[in-house]
Amino acid sequence: MAAAKTSNADKHRILIVDDHPIFRQGLAQLINQEEDLCVCGEADDYQGAMKAVAELKPAMVIVDITLKDMSGIDLIKEIRKFHKGIIMLVISMHDESLYAERAFRAGAKGYVMKQEASESIVQAIRQVRSGSIYASKKMTDHILSLFVDGPRDHTESPLRTLTDREIEVFQLIGEGLSISEIGVRLHLSVKTIGTYRERIKEKLNLKNSTELLRYALNWVENKRESKTIS
């Protein structure tokens, strides 16, 4: 006799929050193939996500770092504040060495790079569902070192003084995007991006936009080189 199929009511319900509909659809299709998992809803911004969480009551929310109206990390903080029992997993194109620790501090239990999602998303879901943290081996080693050795002096990296959104803007500057292009990517006005840029320059003690661009370009390039070496 064939085993009875798991009903949707018995499955682990997951909400996907990402501002790219094609990616959401692909991710949902991947998750829905699993007998014990199902995507119960989708959202592309903060308002939609908070409404869906309240109405659908998912067991887990998969969140992208970059959303239409706010940082995914800020969304994680809000969900954690009002819905404490929900597990949160980040899936992002942004470098985990810069964002994963911030995401974990906000309340996420896992961090998956988008380019690795098709191979690792189901494993990540199951791992965080079981109560464990999911991250790459490199990031896991870093987290463990914080417990063993304690946090390092934050003054060693001035980038630690930047907010989550400022880090996003800084990285996109380093990828060569103009202010208007960054505004389109982050769904923010040119004026708002300009304000972030001025704050970044002040925090990093940079004299002008040329120094900021050079710093950001070098930082992004160094990250790419270290990733290639590893």
The string of pLDDT tens digits covering residues 35-68 is: 999 999 999 999 999 999 999 999 999 999 888 7
Q: Please check whether residues 70 and 142 belong to one and the same domain.
A: yes
Residue 230, domain member (yes or no): no
C-alpha 52 chain-centroid distance: 19
Instruction: With CA atoms as reference, report the closest residue to 85 among 44, 131, 45.
Output: 131
Q: Please check whether residues 13 and 109 belong to one and the same domain.
A: yes
| Domain final position from 115, 133, 148 | 148
Q: Please check whether residues 179 and 144 belong to one and the same domain.
A: no
Give me the mean pLDDT over the 76-90 stretch: 94
Q: Determine the pLDDT at residue 42.
A: 96
| Domain final position from 117, 148, 179 | 148
Residue 25, domain member (yes or no): yes
Amino acid, single-letter form, for residue 57: K
Q: Determine the pLDDT at residue 145.
A: 65
Structure tokens at 14: 């997951």
Residue 164, domain member (yes or no): yes
Q: Containing domain of residue 165, as a range?
A: 154-224
Residue 2, domain member (yes or no): no
Q: Determine the pLDDT at residue 3.
A: 40
The residues near 15 (Cβ < 8 Å, ≥ 6 apart) are 39, 40, 41, 42, 43, 49, 52, 53, 56, 58, 60, 61, 62
Give the number of domains in the chain: 2
Return the H-helix or E-strand segment holding 217.
helix 209-229
